[in-house]
Structure 1
Amino acid sequence: MCGITGWIDWEQDLSQQQPVLEQMACTLKERGPDREGYWFSPRAALAHRRLIVIDPVGGKQPMLFTQGEQTYALTYNGELYNFRELREELRARDHVFRTHSDTEVLLHAYVEWGEECVNHFNGIFAFAIWDEARQRLFIARDHLGVKPLFYAQVGNAIVFGSEIKALLAHPLVEPVLDDEGMKAIFVSLFMSGGGIFRDIHELRPAHCATFTRERTHIRPYWQLVSRPHTDDLETTAEYIRSLLKDTVKRQLIADVPVVTLLSGGLDSSGVTSLAAREFQSEHKVLDTYAINYANSEEHFEGNAIRPSIDRPYVEQVARYLPTNHHDVVVSTEELLENLLVPMRAHDRPKMGQIETSLYLLFKVIKQNATVALSGESADEVFGGYPWFHQEHVLNTPTFPWIAARMTPRGDNQFMNMGTPFLSPALAQELHPHEHMQRLYQEALAEVPRLEGESPRDARIREIFYLNMTRFLLLLLDRKDRMSMATGLEVRVPFCDHRLVQYVWNIPWEMKTVDNIEKGILRRAFSGLLPEEVRMRRKSAYPTSFDPAYTQAVRRWTLEILNNANAPVNSFVNVEFIRQLAEHPDEETRGENAYFLFDYLIQANAWLQEYHVVTP
């Protein structure tokens, strides 16, 4: 993976603007620690920070293609998993290649098909191409949003980059937090997307945009299509298996060491099994990695979200395949020392220790590998979360992950923050409930309906769409930022858009065959895993159960609340949060409460470090 950034201006000459572009690119050095590159023309300045994965010599960027009077310049973050087939197709169309990189294939695909090139790609990507002859910028982002891309339009200029920090390094872009930004930070924090700051936008997944002096055109190039599913149960399971086998094989292609993440759950274990078999065919042993927490297992108490600890299942899979397994144990001290890393990686406050632990895991993996495969997104695609199976969630008109944690009274002071969390003045200004309802209705309006579907099936289709287009982005953002903060590329086979489209139309009764969540995926993995692992119930990503962690973040929170100069206190209900911090044993504390503490700590540091301006 890499970091990309650039600046287009139809009024001023950018040929001598290298200091500004270098400043923008420098903010992305963790994403691309191996090499940097720049390209300038009077109207365009492109930069690239490279993490070398394929073709170390030939994949240098920005990459140029010149034909007669036409010049195309590309800066690209990602991987095309079908680049070998595309290269052969383009060769048949008289294209000549000088490297073995997927970068050159992407550039030639644009030369051949123009903006329709995105319809030929299977991969994870965010890229920008400057067409010098037409004075036109084209940007695009992959189907599910694995790779990020932000842009800002300020006057006659377009500034873009893999992360918001690259845009903020440009003198035209300021960290101004308007009402929409405040809603994103203090109300809809369990929603992803958006540029947070005024004038900054995030290109949505499966979208592309064209910028010229005269106009801006943004459009989707791919979307889910609803149609009747005609395959029987056996055919469906076999096709899923064949798709995943093909996807994993493609995603193992690299010129650097590749490993997998292994939690002992169905998803990561299935991906690991397929990857291990590919390794065995080449007489190699796959390395696998799992996260664990010091002083945590002795305090573990199972619940509906985490019914079991991972370690025994991880060990079963590692023995069964077998793999060369590594258990990465992180301490409470490490979690606390790195609590602000997610905020700096996302350019906004985020999920706290769940993200911090991933960062620490990826730091260890990076010592031995550059690419890892993960089981991310199977729950969204196949329906693995508890809220897919809870009647009260199906009947609640809001996002399901919010409804799933509502109290019997129907309120939710943690997941949908809202009035209790906000200062009374800010709550009155931002109208949190109305804001969340607007986001919810906007999402529902996009759902591709299937004519003749029963009301219940239509509702389940809505739940799937909300998860795949809203909740999944939270997890993909988390995985991208924490991995790239260490210079590690994480690939996600369950985000292959072919698989996502196929599973989208599988009926709910078939998805839950054998009366278990993700039943059809379990059928697809038959014979690939130990039965106890294949039939293991969903258990969420692990967190530390060490009481020392919650005690520490509670103390840290109280220090902020007691500091008259702490900027976050202007936005939150100080007394409400103080009650949570000072009375830890009351009902509804637990994980929700320490998430709130993690978030407030990061929000306070973010307001300070980013010099956030509120008009």
Structure 2
Amino acid sequence: MCGMVGFAGFAGGVPEGTEDFSLKLKGMLEALSCRGPDASGVWTDDSAGLGHTRLAVVDPVGGRQPMVLERGSRGPLAVVFTGEIYNHAQLRAELGSFGRRFATRGDSEVVLHAIDTWGVHAPARLEGMFAYAAWEPVARRLTLARDRFGIKPLCYAQVDDGVVFASEPKAVLEHPAVSARLDPDGLRELLLSAHPMVKTPGRSVFAGLREVAPATVVSMDPRGVRASRYWSLTPAEHRDDLPTTVARVRQLLQDSVSGHMAADVPVSVLLSGGLDSSALAALARPGTVPLHTLTVDLGTRRSDGDAMGRDPDGPYAELMARHLGSTHRRVRSTAAALSDPARRARVGRLRDALTLGDFDTSLLDLFGAVREHFKVTLAGDGADELFGGYRWFTPRAAASGTFPWATVLERADLTRLLDPALAAALDLPGHRRELHRAACTEIEHLPGTSPEEAALRRVSHLNLTRFLPCLLDRADRLGMGVGLEVRVPFLDHRLVEYVFNAPWRFKTFDGREKSLLRAAVADLLPPPVLERRKSPYPLVRDPAYRTALTSQVTRLLADGGPALDLLDTAAVRRLLLEAGAESRFPREGLELVLDLDQWLRTYRPALSL
């Protein structure tokens, strides 16, 4: 796991302002130093530069980057790569049969030879989470690629005489040819990616900067830019009966967890005591090496008024840890720490986006505690989206005309907080409907699929391609913010393909959510954990958090700030009145006001709204 940066010129020169290659690369790398605290390196030729900062997880001695393959008359191939390739041993053997020779034990050199052997088809041969950039000086060709689900980030900006790219926008913005600009589309993306969490593939918040979409290869040379998808969620007939399906899910998940546990450093598991994380912990338990598990504690108490049905994680996590005999640690976060403006600003800077309040700051606390002892951890991201764990997995939600989770997770009424003229111009509800319509056009169905099955397949597809990317981006940015690699075994593409195409009646065969997963690991979990109802990630319930947020928003109104130019100050004052009522706590609205102001202060974008 690492960070990468670079730039390339396609006409024989380099992007303006790139005269001192090494200095520019080092400046860009500095913005990503937290992603790779163990080593860094740069490589340049007369028209390009690549930089890499490394978190050493596999082959600590031999995996330094950038890596360069000398190819005779074809010229060198220079590559920077981030992520983990779980089938690198198999690929190494296959490439070796073609006469390839390797000087290292890790996956980076395997990726280098895979690119040289298979070109733009290389990503389809890689199993894991990854992003890479490959530069071929003779052809003046830059190739950018990203894993199937977009677990690892990669973005780029085209400039007059080339391209600038990096793992994160903040590093691209360090290059003198690129500046922070915010236009209406960018502001819509900024707001909707947090409220209600919709990620548009390929789009970025900043004007002129794009993300490489998941499962996509982008090739750039003097002839132009070409993007192609190498994988997608496609329908396939499911021929297995229910018992066979349960057994197959178990085998696929066991294979995935085993692969994700491979590392030259110890691996931990995030354990909430829910079905997903407990399944991973049970399958990860090795025979001789102690298992280490961690959970976050916000002092959450069950409330009948909690629409999300949150339940304290601590007791279940400790029960599961005792069951497994793992070395377990509970990480505590306080209201004072979670509401600290400096920590909120840090989270926003790490994410290059609006935060999700204590949902984010507490996760950063957990990741920081994990990183004190581990460089790698397993997380259960993707299980709910894949197995149908959310309560919006219903035909009714599918027919709502918008993203199914929007009516449940509408974290704030954005329209009422924005300046009325700006709200009208942005038309966030209409924009969201258009994004939903476009997303639905990607979904395919087999002939003869029933209307109910088609509706629930649509919900699953939207969750995997528009909702889950928000959570994956959050996990990557906050994990790498403390130098922690977060691995997600539920997103092995073979497991995803199989479960996605299983009929919905299998996924709820026992009348509950995630029936397939529960049945697949039933023999591994104690009954209270196996039967526990779905409980989302905890939120702080300490009244001190409410007091801190209202105080900070009150101060912002008094002192002024850039967000107030975009907001309806009368609406913000009404929000404060709501926060003063014991029966209401509009936390999402208060967090939005503070986050938007902090984001604008941090990036100081040129506005063209």
TM-score (norm 1): 0.94
1:75-94 maps to which residues of 2 (within 5 A)?
A: 75-94=80-99
Amino acid across the alignment from 1:614:
L
Paired with 2:86 and 2:588, the residues of 1 have a C-alpha distance of 36
Unaligned runs of 5+ in 2: none
For 1:290 and 1:447, the matched residues in 2 are separated by 36
Between 1:394-403 and 1:184-193, the stretch displaced more is 184-193
How far apart are residue 241 of structure 1 and its match?
A: 0.6
1:185 paired with 2:190, answer: yes
Q: Secondary structure at the match of 1:290?
A: strand
For residues 187-202 of structure 1, the aligned pairs below 5 Å read 187=192, 189=194, 190-193=197-200, 194-202=203-211
Question: Does residue 271 of the first structure (1) align with residue 280 of the second (2)?
Answer: yes
Contact (CA 8 Å) 2:290, 2:326: kept in 1 or not? Answer: yes
The reply to whether residue 450 of structure 1 matches residue 446 of structure 2 is yes
Aligned-residue Cα RMSD (Å) equals: 1.6
Task: Supply the AA of the counterpart residue of 2:577.
Answer: E
Choose 431-440 or 571-580, whichever is displaced more. 571-580
Structure-2 separation of matches of 1:231 and 1:299:
40
- Alignment partner, residue 430 of structure 2: 434
**Amino acid across the alignment from 2:31:** T
Q: 2: CA distance between counterparts of 1:304 and 1:524? A: 29
Is 2:3 the counterpart of 1:3? yes
C-alpha distance in structure 2 between counterparts of 1:422 and 1:188, whole Å: 16
Q: Partner amino acid for 2:67?
A: M
In structure 1, distance between residues paired with 2:99 and 2:521 = 42
Matched, 1:577 2:572: yes
Counterpart residue number, 1:408: none
Equivalent position amino acid for 1:323 in 2: S
- Residue 145 (str. 1) matches residue 185 (str. 2): no
Contact between 2:35 and 2:482, CA under 8 Å: does it hold in 1? yes
For residue 397 of structure 2, the aligned residue among 389, 393, 396 is 393
Which position in structure 1 is the counterpart of 2:339? 336
User: Where do 1:429-578 residues align within 5 Å?
Assistant: 429-563=425-559, 565-578=560-573
Q: Is the 8 A contact 1:15 1:45 kept in 2?
A: no
Which stretch of the first structure deviates more once superposed, 186-195 or 324-333?
186-195
Q: CA deviation at 1:608?
A: 1.3
The answer for the alignment partner of 2:50 in structure 1 is 46
- 5+ residue gaps, structure 1, are 406-411
Instruction: Check if 1:248 corresponds to 2:248.
Output: no
Deviation at 1:16, TM superposition (A): 3.8
TM-score, normalization by structure 2: 0.95
Give the partner amino acid of 1:449.
H
User: CA shift at 1:186, angstroms?
Assistant: 3.4
Alpha-carbon shift at residue 526 of structure 1 (Å):
1.6
Q: Distance in 2 between matches of 1:395 and 1:108?
A: 47
**Inter-partner Cα distance in structure 2 for 1:365 and 1:530:** 25
Superposed CA deviations along residues 555-612 of structure 1, whole A, max 9, x for unmatched, are: 111211233x31101112222222122222659843xx21222232121011112111
Retained in 2: the 8 A contact 1:3–1:162? yes
Written as runs of structure 1 = structure 2, the 5 A alignment for 1:203-242 is 203-242=212-251
Report how many residues are paired. Answer: 597
Q: 1:105 to 1:187 in 2, by over 3 A?
A: closer
1:430 maps to a residue whose letter is L
After superposing the two structures, state which structure 1 stretch, 446-455 or 84-93, moved more.
Answer: 446-455
Q: Call closer, same or farther: CA 1:588–1:92 in 2, change over 3 Å.
A: farther
Q: CA deviation at 1:302?
A: 6.4
Aligned residue number for residue 409 of structure 1: none
Aligned residue for 1:433, secondary structure, equals helix
CA shift, 1:284, in A, is 1.6
Q: Whole-Å Cα distance in 1 between the matches of residues 98 and 183 of structure 2? A: 50
Structure 1 counterpart of 2:248, which letter? Y
Task: Determine if contact 1:15/1:42 at 8 Å carries over to the other structure.
Answer: no
Write the letter of the residue equivalent to 1:56.
P
Between the aligned partners of 2:182 and 2:310, the Cα distance in structure 1 is: 40
CA drift of 1:307 comes to 4.1
Any idea what the Cα deviations from partners look like across 1:371-398, whole Å, max 9, x if unmatched? 0001111000111001114x54233110
Query: In 2, distance between residues paired with 1:301 and 1:330?
Result: 23
SS in 1 for 2:115: helix
SS of the equivalent of 2:533 reads coil
Counterpart position of 2:602:
609
Provide the rounded CA distance (Å) in 1 between the counterparts of 2:209 and 2:584.
Answer: 36
Q: Displacement, 1:67?
A: 2.0
Q: CA deviation at 1:532?
A: 1.7
Work out the percentage of aligned pairs sharing the same amino acid.
39
Contact 2:192 2:198 survives alignment (8 Å):
no
SS of residue paired to 2:497: helix
Q: In 1, distance between residues paired with 2:399 and 2:122? A: 41
AA in 2 matched with 1:94: G
Distance 1:154 1:394 in 2: 41
How many angstroms apart in 1 are the aligned matches of 2:514 and 2:24? 49
Which residue number corresponds to residue 257 of structure 1? 266
